[in-house]
Amino acid sequence: MSHRILHKEQLIPGQTSKLVVDAPHIAAKARPGNFVILRVCDKGERIPLTIADADPDAGTITMVYLVLGKSTALLETLGEGDCIRDLCGPLGRATRIEPCGTVVCVGGGTGVAAMHHIAKGHHRAGNRVVAVIGARSAGLLLFEKELSAFCDEVLVATNDGSRGRQGLVTEVLRARLEQDRAVGEIVAVGPVPMMAAVAETTRPFGVRTTVSLNSIMLDGIGMCGACRVTVAGGTRFACVDGPEFDGHEVDFVELAQRLAAFKDMERAAHDHYCRCQADA
């Protein structure tokens, strides 16, 4: 079933865009932590994207994506009024949200948008929400305003110091944990090295740390095995057992290796796509 794009915004021109899509059935069921798998066209690859927000009354869901390779470049060619060929979801287990006092939600890069929906869920459950967001520089920061609307604190880190504290989100997180021993849970969404670093930062503090894994996915329903990850020494399927897991138990080294497994083919597909676009 095709879904119309009602609103498109380039958050970081040429790099990151936000889509608000008409999808009433998905919006009615979407919970923080859920994702969708979409195809831009009939022969398109399947792209998993987190639901960054959902409005059941308007019947819309919001997705934010980084233009990375061939399929997201193709998605980026769509504009308002165009239709996404198909959209499957909501997929994955919803975030476990329980009253736990203060929750620190850490987001890096595009992961900030995905973390936004989870942070909102914790806020609605009555938890005190501290957001820690990071990017290379101020112009690449996402959702600071949106998070400020409901978070109790928004702490910012940029690599070049152009906004907030200069450094990494993990440095801000460590300082926050040293200052406040009452933090009940940490949630981290972002690049794999960032989530791994967050898990190592929180380990000595013994605070429960939830990460949202972006493993390779195909069917999204537990049949193909593409999304397998090792958690606590056992095999889990990120699409049906996750995508959220205990960060202290994830084998991040294996996850990074699996994500890089198709790099050459992905680069070739992207180069071919760019050449075809240039010739057209």
Ligand X SMILES: Cc1cc2nc3c(=O)[nH]c(=O)nc-3n(C[C@H](O)[C@H](O)[C@H](O)COP(=O)(O)OP(=O)(O)OC[C@H]3O[C@@H](n4cnc5c(N)ncnc54)[C@H](O)[C@@H]3O)c2cc1C
* Interface ranges with ligand X (CB under 6 A): 35, 45-50, 64-66, 68-72, 110, 114, 214-217, 243, 259, 263, 266, 270
Cβ proximity to ligand X, 37 vs 207, nearer residue: 37
Which residue's beta carbon is nearest to the bound ligand X? 69
Cβ proximity to ligand FES, 34 vs 170, nearer residue: 34
Please name which of 187, 157, 161 lies closest in space to residue 171, comparing C-alpha atoms.
157
Selection from ligand X, ligand FES, none that 210 binds (CB < 5 to 8 A by kind) is none
Selection from ligand FES, ligand X, none that 95 binds (CB < 5 to 8 A by kind) is none
Selection from ligand FES, ligand X, none that 158 binds (CB < 5 to 8 A by kind) is none
* Cβ at position 15, least distance to ligand X in Å: 10
Selection from ligand FES, ligand X, none that 220 binds (CB < 5 to 8 A by kind) is ligand FES
Selection from ligand X, ligand FES, none that 65 binds (CB < 5 to 8 A by kind) is ligand X
What does the angle CA 257 – CA 51 – CA 70 come to, to the nearest 5 degrees? 50
Which two structure tokens, joined as six digits, stand for 82? 């165009």
Cβ proximity to ligand X, 240 vs 259, nearer residue: 259
Burial class for 277, CB neighbours closer than 10 Å (0-12, 13-18, 19+): exposed
Interaction pattern, residues 204-233, with ligand FES; x per rule: CB under 6 A:
-------------xxxx-xxxxxx------
Cβ proximity to ligand FES, 67 vs 88, nearer residue: 88
User: Which residues bind to ligand FES, rule: CB under 6 A?
Assistant: 217-220, 222-227, 237, 239
